[in-house]
Amino acid sequence: MAFGISVCRACIASDEAYKLITKTAAKEEYLLQDADFARLGYITRKNPRKEGWNDMKLYLRAQLRDVSYARFGGEEGLLVRRRMFGAGERS
């Protein structure tokens, strides 16, 4: 169990929180930095775009959301940061 949780197949299939997301997409969506990923579990998969590229790291969306909310003070804080990021003020 890379993510340290047990979830039934029906929940995995129906709940967006249990979907997997690449590290690159997670950085963009949740405005996380490399250090934020240090304690999170992940699984690796071959990169479907090009065989010679590095394996993809896939993270659990629910865990990424929790880290992001903790960093930015909840959903509202993340939304404010996204607006700032859109204006080119990411930090």
| Domain spans of the chain, in order of start | 9-86
Instruction: Please tell me the distance from the alpha carbon of residue 56 to that of residue 48, in angstroms, as a whole number.
Output: 9
Q: What pLDDT, on a 0 to 100 scale, did the predictor assign at position 89?
A: 53
Q: How is domain 9-86 classified at the architecture level of CATH?
A: Alpha-Beta Complex (3.90)
Query: Could you tell me the CA-to-CA distances from 29 to 7, 17, 49 in Å, in that order?
Result: 23, 14, 21
Instruction: Print pLDDT tens along the chain (91 aa).
Output: 577 777 777 777 766 777 899 999 999 999 999 999 999 999 999 988 888 888 899 999 999 999 999 999 999 999 999 998 775 555 5
pTM of the model: 0.77
Which string of DSSP letters, residue by residue, matches 18-78?
A: G-EEEHHHHHHHH---GGGGTT---EEE--SS-TTSPPEEEEEHHHHHHHHHHHHTSHHHH
Structure tokens given for 50: 């090009």
